[in-house]
Amino acid sequence: MQSRTAAKLRNGPARYPAAAVDGERLARIFKALAHPVRVEIVSSLAACSGAFCGDIVRGLPLAQSTVSQHLAILREAELIEAEENGRCCHYRLTTGARALVEGAVAGLFAAACCGEPEEAGGRAARMGACRKDTE
């Protein structure tokens, strides 16, 4: 016997508010922030105007190649950007990094439960239905 939630997911994608972040971009953002080292890098860059790669490496107990891999994931998620100057790279948060993360979180929690549109007074009922589907 399949749950109603499984049937809804199989029959069509969940409907999100117009302002919600698309699923792939949402996943990239959360993947980028899913590792403590990357959170540390973002936090450090948020506290200053940026840093050179060597400075970031010296601040972490990791090899330069490992830090570079973490930086690449953060760049792919559009959370940081790099300005190359010869062999040196200066990293900084992108202008919209904070808004990007806040939008991703808001988009995730704004999704209608079980793919159903928002109805007056219906959120609590839908949440109850979702709980029953998982029991």
Q: Are residues 9 and 54 in the same domain?
A: no
Q: Are residues 28 and 75 in the same domain?
A: yes
Q: Are residues 64 and 97 in the same domain?
A: yes
Q: Residue with structure tokens 């939630």?
A: 5
Other Cβ atoms within 10 Å of 30 Cβ, number: 14
Q: Are residues 75 and 100 in the same domain?
A: yes
Q: Are residues 45 and 55 in the same domain?
A: yes
Q: Are residues 85 and 125 in the same domain?
A: no
Q: Are residues 68 and 129 in the same domain?
A: no
Encode pLDDT of 16-39 as tens digits: 444 445 778 888 889 999 999 999
Q: Are residues 84 and 42 in the same domain?
A: yes
Other Cβ atoms within 10 Å of 45 Cβ, number: 20
- Provide the number of structural domains found in the chain: 2
Encode pLDDT of 76-130 as tens digits: 999 999 999 888 899 999 998 888 888 888 877 776 555 555 554 555 555 555 5
- Examine the pLDDT at 2 and tell me if it is beyond 50: yes
pTM (global) more than 0.75: no
Q: Are residues 8 and 33 in the same domain?
A: no
* DSSP annotation of 18: T
Domain that holds residue 45: 17-110
pLDDT on residue 82 = 95
Q: Are residues 37 and 100 in the same domain?
A: yes
